[in-house]
Chains A and B, each alone.
Chain A
Amino acid sequence: MRFILIALLLGLPASALALVYQGEQTLYEDTLWQGEVLIDGILTVAPHVRLEIRPGTRVSFTRIDSDGDGIGESELYIQGIFSARGTLDAPIVFGSAARNPAPGDWGAINMMASTEDGLMEHCIVEYGYRGFHAHFAGATIRSSLFRRNYQALQFQDSRLRLEELEIRDNHNALQFRDSEVSISGALIQDNLWAVRALYSSLEMENVLLAGNRFNGLNLRESFLLARNSRIENNRRGLYLQQSEAEIKGTLIRGNLEHGILLENSIIFSELSSISDNGRSGVKWIDSHGSFRQSVFEDNGEYALFNDGPTKADVRNNWWGTTVPERIDAMILDAADRPGRAGVDYSSFLLEPPFSNTMTQTETELP
């Protein structure tokens, strides 16, 4: 390991002292960081070697763009053991060394086939290309903020536990494939894309996906279990492609287009509210499953649009009215367009199953 005390050489005060790693370097011994650390290249943590970062440490990455693609290349490449535990008062910051930082200034905190599951707590990750990236790895990330990255978090073939996170103002927030991911307590807001999953399973509880300008939650060939969450004011709310979902106690409202778009998917939803979405509450294409004890109110053109050959089972729900003709007018199906299947909205409720402003269980968000 080679390090340079640049600040000392420059005669700067003690507070400016920085541990600097230049070029391609590897940690072969357990290492503890505190204070200022500068990564000016690619730093690898070798298998079985532990890197621990103390509260209040700032890890800065130099912007290096050798191939001119606009993406910074400095990164931390972890094959060993990674523990970054800040505190509420002294978080650990991973960010850009640039005077005027921008998304993509540096590469990623990469965990690649790491020896043990990584741990990040009370961290701030900003201005990265992929803020945190895992491949054949596991990690727990809690009480941390990801902002102004191209991609806040991305995983492949990994297991992730995400707790009490704030992921905002990134281009894309969270993308993963072939992974198992749980999210408990998260604010995923004001990104372009919020969550995109492929061939994965996602369990989420107490998550707010709001104001993301493309899809809120998009799963393809994946499984979703969602509890007590809110998906609101995105372009699309929940978009399932060849996926399965169980949803309970979740608000899906105010999305610009469809609240829920189902394509060749299976959904079981109860005690949820699908309201005030721009084009439709639910668009149902070649899908199966049911909605129960839920609320459909004030959606744009239709509460439910069946655009496929499979019947939609939406019995025992509240439609904002008890007049069958009015409910019928909110539904577009075989009765309106030949070639589509029908919608069974029988046994509709005579009053809302819960308060329309909150789902069955009080949603607690970070």
Chain B
Amino acid sequence: MRLYPFILILASAMLFACSAPRTQNPPSAVLEVAGVLREDTLWQGEVLMLDDVLVPRGRTLTILPGTRIRVQSAGSTKLEPLFLSTATELLVRGEIYVAGTSEQPVRFSPVAEDEGSLEEPVWGGIILDGALSAHFQHLDLEKGEICLQSLDTSMQARHLRLFDCRYGLILQGEGFAELEDLQVEAGEVGLLLWEQAQMNLLGGRFTGQAEEAIHLGSHEVHIQNVLIRGTALGVVADPRKVDLSGLIFEDNGRNIYPRGAGAP
């Protein structure tokens, strides 16, 4: 079965989480985090990201089911050499395992959301920058500038849900993304592929993007059983190179924009 390797990796990560020395918050306390992880780290329960967090090479961040991570806004005015977004971000150059379940997903959302004053995305999202390993299961990301971006990283994600992100998911550079049941709701753009990025997208749903749901360009991808509904523009792709038969379109302003195939 295709899912077995993924489950095995997550199970191994959780086993490792129970056995290796690491930073760990008591389940009942709110863990406040910021800065560079200096050891392998486990998050569970309530976590407050006060500022940028870096998982450097040689370190692993594991997040257990049901963990709720609230992210403090930073006003988008930071100029930090070590980090990439001007907003608060989780930057991964080492390894990350997110082990949510259908009953207990892991959720990232901005603090401002709790205060009822959120109008625009106020955190930078998760950035994978040449990360050594990235596995996500039942992960919800909300209201980020770019909720998840993968730069030169191979990643696996099952049941990844992105809500109200300006950009949902960006795949850029060398790396292969195995995506299963990707759901992107609202925001400006759902999914963008740039440079040499490759992707399998098996099952998913894109709804309500203000611009395009998926921007593929000329990338060769495998897409199966993905619904695009209620977006301004369904998919931007070169239909001569990309098989779009796995896409289902409903009620979009326009379904396909034939990038690279001449004028619309």
Contact = CB atoms under 8 A, between A and B. Distances in A.
Given A68-B38, A151-B81, A256 B194 contact: yes
A94 interface: no
A344 B217 CA distance: 29
A177 B79 contact: yes
Nearest to B189: A279
Contacts of A213: 151, 172-173, 195
B60 to A, nearest CB: 15
Interface string B222-248: 000000000011001000000000000
Nearest to B232: A337
B76 to A, nearest CB: 8
A235 B56 CA distance: 24
B264 A329 contact: yes
A160 B76 CA distance: 24
A198 B192 CA distance: 27
Interface string A62-91: 000000111100000000000000000000
A198 B76 CA distance: 10
B236 A301 contact: yes
Interface string A85-106: 0000000000000000000100
Interface string A144-184: 00000011001000000000000000011001110000000
Contacts of B194: 235, 256, 278
A192 B263 contact: no
Contacts of B172: 213, 235
Contact of A69 (B38, B84, B86, B151): B38
Interface string A179-199: 000000000000011001010
A69 B212 contact: no
B36 A300 contact: no
B145 to A, nearest CB: 12
A69 B215 contact: no
Interface in B67-96: 76-77, 79, 81-82, 84, 86
Interface in B122-169: 129, 151
A33 to B, nearest CB: 26
Contacts of B236: 279, 300-301
A220 interface: yes
Interface string A297-310: 00011000000000
Contacts of A172: 81, 84
Given A329-B263, A329-B264, A214 B84 contact: yes
Nearest to B188: A307
Nearest to A68: B38
A301 B212 contact: yes
B27 interface: no
Contacts of A127: none
Contact of B56 (A70, A193, A214, A301): A70
Interface of B: 35-36, 38, 54, 56, 76-77, 79, 81-82, 84, 86, 129, 151, 172-173, 192, 194-195, 212, 215, 217, 232-233, 236, 257, 259, 263-264
8 contacts: A150-B82, A171-B81, A192-B129, A192-B151, A196-B79, A198-B79, A220-B77, A326-B263
Interface of A: 68-71, 104, 129-130, 150-151, 154, 171-172, 175-177, 192-193, 196, 198, 213-214, 220, 235, 256-257, 278-279, 300-301, 326, 329, 337
Closest 4 CB pairs of A and B: A151-B81, A69-B36, A150-B81, A175-B79
Given A196-B79, A213-B151, 14 more contacts: A68-B38, A69-B38, A70-B36, A71-B82, A150-B81, A177-B77, A192-B129, A192-B151, A196-B86, A198-B79, A214-B84, A278-B194, A300-B236, A301-B212
